[in-house]
Chains A and B, each alone.
Chain A
């Protein structure tokens, strides 16, 4: 084991409900990836959602500049389980429906402020759902949890319908992961040095200094 592995395990433990992580670490079922889960409009839609979660700010461009819609398409298509793919792709319609319900127009037609307000609502829903799933899974015995992990690892896991994650939790998770590992995210929002050259264990930190991207 090395530190890289150690870090990824920390992320797993602290973020037990991270959806993307679960999918890419546990693999998937036997259905081949379908071609064309997403249309060009879907990608534009996801770009807009991502850019509302992480907009352009003084120091760095937003998620759209990181082609976040394309990134979501790649990960959902290549790494997600079939169950999670369906939740995600259905989620695009659900998000638009939520927009119509709240503001009587589709998400793409909302003002920036309305987009923000809607996603704050959905973020609340997603957190609530994640909490409920977490509480249910916390009640499992250690052995049941282990068996679930094994099933996920071997692709035999069948998700209980009540454990279906909220689509917005998925979108947000992929937005954060995709953005902060993208070139603009890593090099402008954060600090990235391809070849540090040396390691220094203790340097001064002053408020405002960016975090290291990796």
Chain B
């Protein structure tokens, strides 16, 4: 039961009542806001962090390298105060304002887990990796076919039209490659491969027949269409400074796209500094009636009410909110009849890294800064298990040509040395891993029984680890990639295991999974709680398995699909 005394603002219940409440303004919350507002619902978006307005609140967006005091490096003081969050990929002097400070947001790591958070309007959509491939049926059916997980209640065909819906709006570049393992979408023109990447593509195909390196599928406007111009966004300028926020709107974020779009309908209210304590369950009506919010500055509690609630707080915070939403009907957390809420947390294996050098191609170069990576579609365990592990992996790969290191000069001091470093050197080739992990009951999050944050909300305990399957998959990535690189003429190949804790991938998923059977899942095939049909979860918490593709666009897709369903159910009077 909630333990804080609740006060309703002076305006009373009516003033605090909306048609819909969306918890969270990140990549999926932004989509819920857009869809619900477009359908005419008065929608309240609750965001625990500060407001971030597109362009206006991107203070570093246009700084040249020399305009950053430490040229992008993190100072000792920042590092010392934020040993955890400063590990995040891309965290630097220029974008650290889009990440939380460690001390403000404690949690308890039962096993090492790096929980990377960005508490502001737009959430992590400002700093996301922007990679947007579609899932295939191999991923939707893999866990059930090979017995390493639970079956999804949906298939690719259920989401394909909604992928299209999302892709057309956010803008996804890519090439139609006709791959079964990575279905084509509604693509804007791709970022070109450079000469070495083209060579790798041809070599992999010649040597293996079924290993495809394809153009990046990334949420960038390579050639904006009217719908993107209508959002006030412009063509990606190939600056590759995305994580600072893009003043051109060249990549998709909630801030540049869905939230301002929702705002234009006149139906949107965004309330920053509003952390959700819990969802209120009406025992009589047998559905949720609203949410209990704490103002992060004044610490005053307020209740807001609505007919439908979308929970998009980011995977682990969504679990936290549901676990903390207790009632007589749901003593163990909202919708948690099956007892699995918070369990089967999984993530992506991002530990593997390889690089090498390749001779030749020195008569070619590139123009502009490519903000994407080419993708080697998963080629493992598709139709059958052909390895000693289960699940698959996506490989990102590419090549670049950096400033010469001057090592060939007689002395590495002086004019000749300097001049030699002003020209490009040879080509470097790299690859990194995004591997499926297997949902396990032991990998879980739960609420601390005795420790609370400054808003009186129980701290989250994380207990998530790797397993033997992860090690085997990682090893296979090394072996296969090294072989593919070697056959392509790459030399001096090195590999490294970051040994990073789960979480640093920033692809944490699950805990509130979808499923056809309410005894073994929390959400139905429309992302509604089996046991509380007017509450929808469409962020990473809903994932039944992790697949090997980047998940964000699937969250957006499931959100749009669920919103459409929720609106129809509301119209029918079913919820």
- A positions within 8 Å CB-CB of B: 1-7, 9-10, 13-14, 20, 23-30, 32-33, 52-55, 57, 59-60, 62, 71, 74-75, 78-81, 116, 119-120, 123, 142, 146, 153-155, 172, 176-178, 180-183, 186, 189-190, 192-214
Contact = CB atoms under 8 A, between A and B. Distances in A.
Contacts of A155: 79-80, 83
Interface stretch (B42-50, B289-297, B366-374, B382-390): B366-374
A200 to B, nearest CB: 4
A146 B80 CA distance: 19
B195 interface: yes
Interface string B477-517: 00000000000000000101101000000000000000000
A197 B237 contact: yes
Interface stretch (B255-263, B357-365, B552-560): B357-365
B74 A24 contact: yes
A207 B425 CA distance: 11
18 contacts: A2-B90, A2-B371, A3-B398, A13-B355, A20-B73, A53-B418, A60-B418, A81-B76, A120-B411, A177-B71, A202-B193, A202-B198, A203-B364, A205-B363, A208-B423, A211-B401, A211-B424, A212-B424
Contacts of A23: 76
Contacts of A153: 83, 87
Contact of B422 (A190, A194, A205): A190
Nearest to B353: A9
A27 B83 contact: yes
Given A6-B398, A13-B353, A52-B413, 6 more contacts: A9-B430, A53-B414, A78-B76, A198-B237, A199-B238, A211-B424
Give the interface centre of A7, A59, A80, A192 by most chain B CB atoms within 10 Å. Answer: A7
Contact of B413 (A81, A119, A211): A119
Nearest to A66: B66
A152 to B, nearest CB: 10
B507 to A, nearest CB: 10
Nearest to B428: A10
A200 B129 contact: no
A182 B365 contact: no
Given A2-B89, A123-B411, A153-B87, A203 B80 contact: no
Contacts of B65: 181, 186, 192, 213-214
Given A2-B129, A123-B411, A155-B83, A24 B398 contact: no
Given A2-B129, A10-B430, A199-B191, A190 B403 contact: yes
B69 interface: yes
Contacts of A146: 499
A195 to B, nearest CB: 5
A35 B130 CA distance: 42
Given A1-B89, A1-B432, A79-B70, A30 B195 contact: no
Contacts of A9: 353, 430
Nearest to A180: B403
Interface stretch (B31-39, B239-247, B454-462): B239-247
A139 B240 CA distance: 38
A42 to B, nearest CB: 19
A78 B70 contact: yes
A196 B237 CA distance: 6
B538 interface: no
A30 to B, nearest CB: 7
Given A78-B77, A180-B403, A3 B69 contact: no
Contact of B76 (A27, A60, A62): A27
A55 B414 contact: yes
A178 B69 CA distance: 11
Contact of A5 (B89, B130, B403, B418): B89
A90 to B, nearest CB: 19
A40 to B, nearest CB: 19
B198 A182 contact: no
B346 to A, nearest CB: 18
Contact of A189 (B86, B418, B430, B496): B418
A200 B411 CA distance: 35
Given A75-B73, A79-B70, A55 B372 contact: no
B445 to A, nearest CB: 23
A30 B413 contact: no
B498 to A, nearest CB: 9
B192 interface: yes
Give the interface centre of B76, B192, B238, B419 by most chain A CB atoms within 10 Å. Answer: B76
A80 B83 CA distance: 15
Contact of A205 (B89, B364, B417): B364
A-B pairs with the 8 shortest C-beta distances?
A27-B79, A201-B192, A28-B76, A196-B368, A24-B73, A199-B368, A205-B365, A199-B238
